[in-house]
Amino acid sequence: MGLFKFASSRQASEPEAEAEGITVSVRCGIPSEEEGLGSKIVDVFSSGVTSTNSAWSYVNAYYSENQGTIENVITKMLTVQIDCQAAEEGMRVVANGLKALCKVHPFIGAAVLSFNAVVILHLKRRDNDKKVLAVHARIQDALSVLFHLRKMKHSDELGSDGVSVEHRMKHLMARIDKDIQETGSMCDLYRKKNCISKTVKATVYEHRFAEKATLFIQYRDELLDALSLHTALGVDAANNKLDRQQSQLDRMESKLDEMLHFFRQLDTPQEKDARKLLDDVGGAEKCLDSDEHVTELLCLCGSEPSAKASVDVEAIVAETRTNVLKELDEDLDCALNRHMQLFERKLEVQRQELEEAIKNSEKNIIAAMQSGAHERIRNEDLRHVWKEMNWRGSVKARHFVLALHDYYNDEVTASKSAGEHTRPVSTEVPDFMKGDKWALAYININHVQPILEAFDDDGTGFITIKEVNAFVESRPNGWSLPHWIAYWAAGWHPSIDQYKHHIYRLVQDMIKCARRTLPENRRVVDQYLAHQNFDRIELLLRSTRSLSHTFTADRYLSEAIDTYTNAEQKRLERALEHMAYEIDTPEVVSLVTGPGRIERFIFPLVYLLLRRQRTIVDLATEHILDPDEFVTMTTTLMSVFEVLDDRIEGLASVFRQAHVDVRGRFENFAFGMLRLSYDLDDQQCELRHNTLCTWQPTRSLYHQDLFTTYLDDNFENPLSVLKHQLVMPSTVEQDSSACTWHLGCVCDACNKEIFGERIMCLDCISDSYGENINLCSRCCAKSLSKGVFTHSPSHLMMKLHHAVFNAELAWMIPKARSTNERIKLRATSEAEPAARLQQSALRRSNMIKRNMLADGGPTARETFICAECERREVSISPDHSSTHTLLKLRGPQTAKPTSAEARLSSLESRLAAVESKLGGLEIMESRLAGIENLLQQLLSSKRVEA
């Protein structure tokens, strides 16, 4: 990935810089009113044009060099054996060319930028759905007609009828823009569906796709008609206009059938088999009547459950049936309307980024046209260093940081740049902005690693001019370059350490809050908290090195940390609020964070998301919520970690190319925050290592509470955070929620899913806590074997009345074992009155139980209760509840004699047993001697006979 930057793979060399400012950063979006959009996009592009002749020349040069790709890409995309990589490269070429064309003819900008937004979202996805690609191909084919505008220098150029091309095409382009957005939203919704959902509604989606594809075939003809009066397309095109209009309906119907037939050809073998299965059984609804058919459909869709336990298969089949019924009942038009709101938010964020990119395009072009590599650097200090070191397009990151250190030590204090380092003192700015001297102390050898990481975004070990300019431009307003470098040298670690502490607290608070949720909400809340997202959060937190307890920061650095951290958090909050805190796909993450490596944003992003989600969990204690609320929350976190995984994969690829120890490299990269997430294995995810509930804040000379609350105080009505309406109690199945569900845990004795009480054996458990024996209340007295475990009812066991998360087991199991040992010692002591009480309880029953999880968590007070009283739910303490987790202990059956006489008697009986054994040996010896005599006599007789 990052190594590609050192090779030249561009086509138009001289005007390249002019397009780069637009090509790399272009995003698009739509405001609430179409007229506002058109005028705003036109204004943006018009303001970005430095020279019409220059832009016009570039477009023609670009088209000439890429003509073959532009003209042939539609052919490559509309073949059964489609080359997805070649098709995507063609999409990039067309998209970049059309964006450049917008500089000459701004009136096409809205539609072109909507198309670019759809292309960007498509290219960010890993999967390449050929049917979606075919729809994109038709959009692209229609817009490619616009390249004929390259023959005109001005949009107000009049045709033969005295009408300008802009006036003639304006309304047509508005319709095209609207349909591009709707088509993009539909494709986005379709690609988020799972395989089974796509299969059962394949006909519906394909018909919609075919309608949109056919519509863009029509748009292509209309664009050709409009342009025929302004370009040298030939007289035949204009003369045939009437014929095309007359046969338009017939051709549309024919094209619709052609697209549907083409979609059939794109079906994979699995899709064909799944379609045949549904046809054979009479449709999707009939398929659901048989578990066998549902299982077969799962297998064909790549979700084969045969390798799982029978209980798991039943649960998967039941869940699949529910999901398919929900999918079939869903009205596609309503779903598209709902999704369009989310898609518009994505486009709006991209539009804002586009406007910023266009505003900066002027200086990008000017800088790129200047001679000399160092002249392209936009900061005077860095430009001086680059020139003095005679570097070219890139330099080793470590060499760059060391040269920067030397420059500031030797040069800056003597002769500072008047424009950048000397600023008038003002009481309106923070103290740290009034001088650079404090910052220079942090630009030294001790901070080489975080500084080079701040510049070297792709982790290649080389810093390019583009990365230098990106770093300079990312600094906050009013910050000098030394301030910005000092923050990344010594201020970023304290910032993420603060977030680390608050994320731990948030998760612990959410787990406690989950115990108070309404029974109707409890299952979905437990599913949300038990999702692997929280394992990923734990790995991220545990991986990241904590700030040294001896770390101190001067007041200027502390002020800089607080200023930037708070400003960045508010920026992310605004972006998340604009997206309604819903990140439905990984592509949306970059729309929220903006450009830059994900590790810069992962901690504040996770913190803000969990803070909002904590609010919803809290609402679940008072209101019955729609389960889709928690599905959305889970999907949002999954999308964030998918982006993190992509980053890890990319870095690992770069590290491997550099022939370094990849795991060791991750140990030192970004304070180790990615080391446990790289190459995940079972050992890293062992329950015993989970720190979400065992974490305790460390004392630091620096730590202070930047964030005073977990919950958002911005909501007058907390219910405004919900995306779905509240569920009425009458619509909820009360019986299904009355019995505690243990996250799908299965009884190892009866092989049925556990509901109600779960008994967990603490003797039959692996060192990692991953393998153990679980029993339901009906089987708790049974003995059984499982793998290497042989379970007995006399084992140490823990009774759970509620779902327990991995994070809780990490402290509950060690705590239970240590409590067991302590109680056994106390139970054998006759000195304590409390011990005599326990002895009395032990005589009445073979077990005592100890409250393991009161509201106080790991520090809960012990409460003893016998089995009979526990069964009758006797109230023995105001602090004790029948829902608390209990520890079952086995007690001594009889008192053992401890006197000297008893010990002597035991010794005498043992000696008597030994003497008895010796007497038996003497008898055995005499018998063996008799056998020996008989053998000798037998041998003697045989010799005589011989």
658 in the same domain as 571: yes
Percentage helix, strand, coil for the chain under 3-state DSSP, each rounded to 5? 65, 5, 30
Provide CB contacts within 8 A for 317, sequence distance 6+. Answer: 291, 294, 295, 298, 305
Q: 3-class secondary structure for 134-188?
A: HHHHHHHHHHHHHHHHHHCCCCCCECCCCCEHHHHHHHHHHHHHHHHHHHHHHHH
Q: In 768-844, where do the E strands start and end?
A: 772-776, 784-786, 789-791, 797-800
Q: Which of 440, 456, 474 is the last residue of a domain?
A: 474
- Asked if 375 and 443 sit in the same domain, the reply is yes
Whether residue 364 contacts residue 419, with contact meaning beta carbons closer than 8 Å, is answered with no
**Are both 490 and 630 inside the same structural domain?**
yes
Q: Tell whether 6 is covered by a domain.
A: no
The rounded distance, in Å, linking the Cα atoms of 712 and 150 is 52
In this structure, the answer to whether residues 442 and 558 fall within a common structural domain is no
Domain assignment of residue 858, yes or no? yes
**Whether residue 626 sits in one domain with residue 763:** no
**Residue 903 CB-density burial (10 A; 0-12 exposed, 13-18 middle, 19+ buried):** exposed
Tokens read off for 38: 């058109």
Asked if residue 1 is part of any domain, the answer here is no
Report the domain count for the chain.
5
Shared-domain flag, residues 656 and 549: yes
Q: Are residues 466 and 483 in the same domain?
A: no
612 and 720 co-located in one domain: yes
In degrees, to the nearest 5, what angle opens at C-alpha 360 toward C-alphas 354 and 365? 115
Contacts of 712 (CB under 8 A, 6+ apart): 611, 612, 615, 721
User: Is residue 298 domain-resident?
Assistant: no
Half-sphere exposure at residue 266, Cβ-oriented, CA atoms within 13 angstroms: 22
Please report whether residue 283 resides in a domain. no
Residue 299 inside a domain? The answer is: no
Q: How far apart are CA 858 and CA 44, in angstroms?
A: 59
Q: Which residue range forms the structural domain that includes residue 739?
A: 735-890
Q: Token pair 């049917």 is at which residue? A: 131
Ranges of the chain with pLDDT below 50? 1-50, 232-246, 249, 306-309, 361-362, 365-371, 415-426, 701, 705-715, 730-738, 831, 837, 841-848, 850-859, 892-898
How would you label 700-735 residue by residue, b for 16+ Cβ within 10 Å and e otherwise?
bebbeebbeebebeeeeeeeebbeeeebeeeeeeee
Last residue of a domain, one of 734, 752, 773: 734
Residue 667 burial (10 A CB sphere; 0-12, 13-18, 19+): middle
> How many other CB atoms are there within 10 angstroms of residue 5's CB atom?
16
Kindly state whether residue 159 falls inside one of the protein's structural domains: yes
Q: Give the pTM.
A: 0.74
Q: Which of 474, 495, 515 marks a domain boundary?
A: 474
pLDDT of 103 reads 80
User: Tens of pLDDT along 193-225?
Assistant: 888 888 888 888 888 888 898 899 889 888 888
Residue 420 shares a structural domain with residue 337: no
Distance CA 442, CA 491 (A): 10
Torsion sign over Cα 915, 917, 918, 922: positive
Q: Measure the CA–CA gap between 431 and 411, rounded to whole angstroms.
A: 23
How far is residue 8's CA from residue 876's CA, in Å, rounded to a whole number? 79
Are 592 and 611 within one domain? yes
Q: Are residues 609 and 742 in the same domain?
A: no
Q: What does the angle CA 575 – CA 581 – CA 582 come to, to the nearest 5 degrees? A: 115
Length of the chain: 946
698: nearest Cα among 885, 904, 917, 545: 545
Residue listed under structure tokens 């748009």: 219
322 occurs within a structural domain = no
| Burial group, residue 588, by CB count within 10 angstroms (0-12, 13-18, 19+) | buried
Residue 693 and residue 769 in one domain:
no
